A = this chain, B = another copy of it.
């Protein structure tokens, strides 16, 4: 690479980009950790993007109509932090850059949304950013259709590397974006030919351009160090009606001794290498020293955005007040006033009803919710009829109908979950999506990120146990409730009937962060017999049925096993054994309740039997803690994978029956 001729050909551009490169070298050296090569390779692309195309305002990082910039290759975080510092995001001081990867800094190893202004999504786990970006672009299309181009009219730009494109989730994202013709989505592929283990060619021979084109993308390939070519490609990408991929041929760790090598991917901390690289760059400034003229030039880019934002504010202000308020409400994620009433009506109507599967209960709730909550964007990974996620009048979202509120994600649980994260982060929409609970496995990396990012996404996981029957062990979740409950910041609901399902939905739609609804395939008898406006699920667990006389046994259960607990209680009570039934729709919420309440509900001293068609791991706490005792605790559930047979046969064979519960309880009295 002839750096001198690059510098000479575009001197101002070179210096702007060199600021990113040297800040990266300095911060990584200070941290003695990080990834130098990617920011050094993609500095030219990022500079042109920010200088000529990206619409952003550092003083208003949450402006709803800003362009979104997603660094899918999150390990190159110093690229982003450099850009935020240079363009003048107030929180991104030079001090923060110097504290790269240190405790409590705004500059963690990988970019974290809600932690650092200007970071749109948390990246690092590869492929997530590009898959989030599909959700960003969908949200933009949906909001543009709803509120008009005057208030919603922006692009989503992504920088993705080979790692992102090798991860399978990228294929799901690419195919979905292609089908959806998301023309505002522009992916800049850092085509540097290097991964951690060496050349890309040791593991891949894919023609990435041909691959994107096969899914309907507009594809270009350019020299990623030529500012004119970058600019022209971005302009062409914006003009094309398809999603665009620009393969930017770059040199990782450009200009250093580690250029074009796997070593260049990592932390370049050798003082001589850094000094030599500075010299190659013609950069005569000290560590972390950015000349004022260059800093000013970078800040001017942000100022251009400030003007665009002011114009946008004016356009918003010109809308009728009701439209403005509605836009602000959805942008801020406030639930509509009518939601509480809609939920209440469903709860009331459900009392005394017939047995229905909670997936069907969920559909009943969604019919009511979707009618009063126009920001919901539903969907399913090709299990619409089974997940019961499509309600009437939603319409199908697509290039034909951007007002549609239901997305056919295809058989792409991972792409769906990642897209939903993008939508939730974009704001203005509230995504929910369905699949079988067992296939929570397929979207597990994105579910974790929902939790880490606190994104308000609702996972509708139906067929939540062996109760799905004949499909067998490949489709029967057993350990999934444990896995989901073990995840910090994730709220798992396993409602027992329509009333609890309505309460779970209400909490999922109003509390911050993600929620999982675990719903049955099989019909369940209603367990709530009286209406109350109060959301009993909000405390996580509650006494569903009290013992008659002396309380000797407490049966704890969730979801489809609550009716088994109720049946077992009837048998025990008939034998004179006072038995309480506790329904625990959400262990997370119950954990947050104070100890006094928990003990009141769980009643120390009594025999405790927990009933759930999953593994015991999450139950030990409730069986043995909060006043529980080993000798008086029993579990009726699964300790192995399931099997293929009708559901009722499976419950019998695996011993999840009222009879077994009674026996377990009596044995401990």
CB within 8 Å of B: which residues of A? 31, 33-34, 74, 101-105, 108-110, 112, 122-126, 162-163, 166-172, 175-176, 178-179, 195-198, 201-208, 210-211, 213-216, 380, 382-386, 396, 398, 408-412, 414-415, 438-439, 441-442, 444-445, 448-449, 451-452, 469-475, 478-479, 482-483, 485-489, 615-618, 620-621, 624-628, 630, 638-641, 643-646, 649-650, 653
Q: How many copies does the complex hold?
A: 2
Q: Does A124 contact B618, Cβ atoms closer than 8 Å?
A: no
Which residues of B are found within 8 Å of A616, using beta-carbon distances? 621
* Nearest CB in chain B: distance from A407 CB, A: 9
- Give the complex CA separation of A129 and B383 in angstroms: 20
B206 touching A415, Cβ below 8 Å:
no
A474 and B101 within 8 A (CB)? no
The reply to whether A196 and B384 contact each other, CB–CB distance below 8 Å, is: yes
Q: How far is the CB of A263 from chain B (nearest CB, A)?
A: 10
Which residues from chain B contact A474 at a C-beta distance below 8 Å? Answer: 74, 109-110, 112, 122-125, 449, 452
Q: List 26 A-B contacts (CB under 8 A).
A: A33-B470, A33-B646, A74-B474, A103-B649, A108-B643, A109-B470, A112-B472, A122-B474, A166-B410, A166-B412, A178-B206, A179-B205, A196-B383, A197-B380, A210-B210, A214-B214, A439-B445, A441-B444, A441-B445, A442-B445, A482-B483, A488-B615, A617-B618, A620-B620, A620-B621, A624-B624
Contact in complex: B411, A126 (CB < 8 Å): yes
Q: Provide the residues of chain B in CB contact with A171, threshold 8 Å.
A: 168, 170-171
User: Is B444 a contact of A643 with CB atoms below 8 Å?
Assistant: no
Identify A125's interface contact among B162, B169, B439, B487, CB under 8 A. B439
Alpha-carbon distance between A382 and B475 when the two chains are bound, in angstroms = 30
How far is A406 from B146 in the complex, measured between Cα atoms in Å? 54
A179-B205, A452-B641 given; name 15 further pairs at CB < 8 Å: A101-B470, A101-B645, A103-B643, A104-B645, A109-B470, A166-B175, A166-B412, A167-B168, A167-B411, A170-B171, A210-B214, A478-B488, A488-B638, A620-B621, A626-B630
Question: Which of chain B's residues have a CB closer than 8 A to the CB of A396?
Answer: 202
* Chain B nearest CB, measured from A269 CB (Å): 13
Whether B205 and A178, one on each chain, are in contact in the complex, defined by CB atoms closer than 8 angstroms, is: yes
A87 CB to closest chain B CB, in angstroms? 22
CB distance from A299 to the nearest CB of B (A): 27
By the criterion CB–CB under 8 Å, are A196 and B385 in contact?
Answer: yes
A624/B617 contact (C-beta < 8 A), A170-B171, A202-B408 known: no
Question: Do B471 and A124 touch across chains, with their CB atoms under 8 A apart?
Answer: yes
- Complex contacts, A383 vs chain B, CB 8 Å: 196-197
Q: A412-B168, A488-B615 are in contact. Are A124 and B475 (CB under 8 A)?
A: yes
B452 touches A167 (CB 8 A): no
List the B side residues contacting A108 at CB < 8 Å.
Answer: 472-473, 643-644
When the two chains form their complex, are residues A109 and B472 in contact, meaning their CB atoms are under 8 A apart? yes
How far does the Cβ of A97 sit from chain B's closest Cβ, in whole Å? 14
The interface residues of chain B lying within 8 Å CB-to-CB of A470 are: 31, 33-34, 101, 109
Contacts of A206 in B (CB 8 A): 175, 178-179, 214-216
Q: How far is the CB of A571 from chain B (nearest CB, A)?
A: 25
A411 near B178 with CB under 8 A, answer no
Our pick among B101, B198, B384, B414 for the contact of A408 (Cβ within 8 Å) is: B198
Q: Which residues of B contact A621 (CB under 8 A)?
A: 616-617, 620, 624
State whether A103 and B645 are in contact (beta carbons under 8 Å apart), knowing that A206-B214, A471-B110 are contacts in the complex: yes
List of B residues within 8 angstroms of A448 by Cβ:
441, 479
Question: In chain B, what residue has the closest Cβ to A479?
Answer: B486
B644 touches A110 (CB 8 A): yes
Instruction: Tell me the bound Cα distance from A473 to B453 in angstroms.
Output: 11
- Tell me the minimal C-beta distance from A367 to chain B in angstroms: 19
Q: Is the CB–CB distance between B210 and A213 below 8 Å?
A: yes
> In the complex, what distance in Å separates the CA atom of A74 from the CA atom of B475?
11
> Contacts A172-B166, A211-B215, A439-B125 hold; do A473 and B452 have CB atoms under 8 A apart?
yes
User: Are A628 and B630 CB-contacts (below 8 A) given A205-B216, A438-B125?
Assistant: yes
The answer on a CB contact under 8 Å between B197 and A175 is no
Chain B contacts of A409 at CB under 8 A?
Answer: 203
Q: In the assembled complex, how far is the CB of residue A380 from the closest CB belonging to chain B, in whole angstroms?
A: 7
Leading 10 A-B pairs by shortest Cβ distance: A168-B168, A203-B410, A108-B644, A624-B624, A620-B620, A124-B474, A171-B171, A482-B486, A210-B214, A103-B645
Are B472 and A640 in contact, with the CB atoms below 8 A? no
Q: How far is the CA of A382 from the CA of B214 in the complex (A)?
A: 26
Q: How far is the CB of A122 from chain B (nearest CB, A)?
A: 6
